[in-house]
Amino acid sequence: MRISTLFPTVALLWVALVDAKLVKYTLTITNGTISPDGNPRGAWLINGQTPGPHLVFDEGDQAEIRVINHGFEPTTIHWIEQKGTPWSDGVPGLTQYENHSLNNVQSTKLSQRYPISVGQDFIYRFNLTQYGFHSVYIRKMQMDDGLKGTIFIRPRPTRANPFKQISTNPDTIKRLEKAANNALMFNTYDYKHYMSDWWMSEWKRTGIEQLCVDNILSESNKLLLYFNETEKMLALVNGRGQVACPNKAIVEPLVLDVQKPLTPKGCMSPNNTVMYPFSDSKLFNNESRQVY
């Protein structure tokens, strides 16, 4: 390699190392009771809340996130893009290595790949290379029960942006750049009034997946959100709200004929061919047609 081509490479590497910083978080997983819409139910909590705390980084940062499991069963957290750190991807049985002991958090023993056992912890270490918003979660049932959260990675100052194509006004461009680094976090997710182990047992008992939800919750870190009843959404204020689930009388005039008949709750019937188009997907019998 010529010396003239070596210097730019070294300079870029030095800039990247200077920009990168180590950002640490500790997430404690527990189980508790929540009632964001006035109906209490069990849930997984991250640092006492669900969704978990909103984590903020800068592009190029190194994340070190210690996850302590005080829940009632083993778990992991599935993160974002992993380059060179597949053991921190959080997929149990595939990339999740054996957890550390709480009495020896610096242990680096890598043997069998297990999720984080109850009373144990695991330290995830990875580089943040994809700027923007990302979700963090684990398998479907635990995610439905509250084990989820969000990450925001601010773009590095040297990253090109399209703002000059939007406006040539310097003040406008500055405001756009400020907004890009202080983006609004907005969560919208399905919400059920019962734990996932219940709907899984009902799915097995009836042969019908429990697709009807009780609410759609929305929350933001900066903006008070409002949705009216016909939109079937709920804005949370400090984690609290109310039920806004239109019944059959409200929903039926708004749906297509192929979606009818509806259940009293306003959901599609489980024997509707739109929801279950294949005969093998309708595994219920006459004694298990109850809709929840």
- Indicate whether 169 pLDDT > 70: yes
- pLDDT for residue 48 is more than 80: yes
Q: How many angstroms separate the Cα of 178 from the Cα of each of 153, 171, 257? A: 14, 11, 48
Q: Please answer whether residues 158 and 58 qualify as being in contact, where contact means their C-beta atoms are separated by less than 8 angstroms.
A: no
Instruction: Report residue 188's pLDDT band, with 50, 70 and 90 as the boundaries.
Output: confident
- With a cut of 70, say whether residue 225 has pLDDT above it: no
Q: What is the pLDDT of the chain when averaged over all its residues?
A: 76
Percent of the chain with pLDDT over 90: 25
What backbone phi and psi angles, to 5 degrees, belong to 58? -110, 150
pTM: 0.73
- The number of helix segments (H) and strand segments (E) in the chain equals 6, 10
Position 110 scores a pLDDT of 43
Q: What is the DSSP string of 220-289?
A: ESS------GGGT-EE-BTTB-------HHHHGGGS-GGGPSBPTTSPBPTT-TTTS-SGGG----GGG-
pLDDT at 82 over 80: yes
Q: Does domain 18-183 have CATH number 2.60.40.420?
A: yes
pLDDT at 135: 85
Give dist(CA 49, CA 36) in Å, integer: 11
**What's the pLDDT score for residue 66?**
95
- C-alpha 285/C-alpha 282 separation (Å) is 9
What is the pLDDT averaged over residues 23-43? 92
Nearest to 92 by CA among 134, 58, 55, 140: 140
CATH 2.60.40.420 domain locations along the chain: 18-183
Distance separating alpha carbons of residues 287 and 208, to the nearest angstrom = 13
Q: Is 17 helix (H, G, I), strand (E, B) or coil?
A: helix
| Count of C-beta atoms within a 10 Å radius of residue 180 | 15
pLDDT at 276: 65
Return the beta strands (E) in the chain as ranges: 22-34, 41-46, 55-58, 62-69, 121-127, 132-137, 148-154, 186-191, 215-220, 234-235
Q: What is the pLDDT of residue 277?
A: 62
Residue 44 above 80 pLDDT? Answer: yes
What are the two backbone dihedrals, phi and then psi, of residue 169, each rounded to the nearest 5 degrees?
-75, 120
In 3D space, the residue among 38, 114, 104, 18 whose CA is nearest the CA of residue 66 turns out to be: 104
